[in-house]
Amino acid sequence: MKKTILITLVAIMVAVTFILWIANTELAFDAGTILMILIPAVILAFAAIRLIRGISDARNQLPPEDELSKMILQRAGATAFQLSLFLWLVIGSIEDRIDMEGHTIIGAGILGMAILFALSWVYHRYVRRSHD
């Protein structure tokens, strides 16, 4: 339950910061701005999934983290890490040919890492069922 409360607080802080950022800037919808909007959106979506799952588990009186959940997170993290290395290798090799600023490319890489982790978590949770 403590982890659920912590995730809720972090998600609220991210959402408030995101709202303040949007309120205080004039947005020009180019590739960089869309990437900067997608990063907190992906973080908030993943936090919402974890929050709903934590509340559901608490209602059903299930343990907050069992061995299978820990193993799935560990494998998803390992898979995402390996794929992130390839992502940064690709980004490093094509950055000269892309007409974007450096911080936008880094933002795209961070967004790609978050998406890779979410996809690898979904893969290890729902598709790959052999958790030995």
pLDDT in tens, 48-73: 887 788 788 788 888 877 788 888 88
Decide: pTM greater than 0.75: no
Task: Kindly tell me if the per-residue pLDDT of 100 is higher than 90.
Answer: no
Q: Where are the domains of the chain?
A: 1-64, 66-132
| Residue 120 CB-density burial (10 A; 0-12 exposed, 13-18 middle, 19+ buried) | buried
What is the pLDDT at residue 76?
92
**Closest of 37, 52, 44 to residue 10, by C-alpha:** 44
What is the pLDDT at residue 111?
83
40-43: long-range pairs with CB below 8 Å, 24+? 40/14, 40/15, 42/111, 42/114, 42/115, 42/118, 43/11, 43/14, 43/114
**Separation CA 44–CA 14 (nearest Å):** 8
Task: Kindly tell me if the per-residue pLDDT of 87 is higher than 60.
Answer: yes
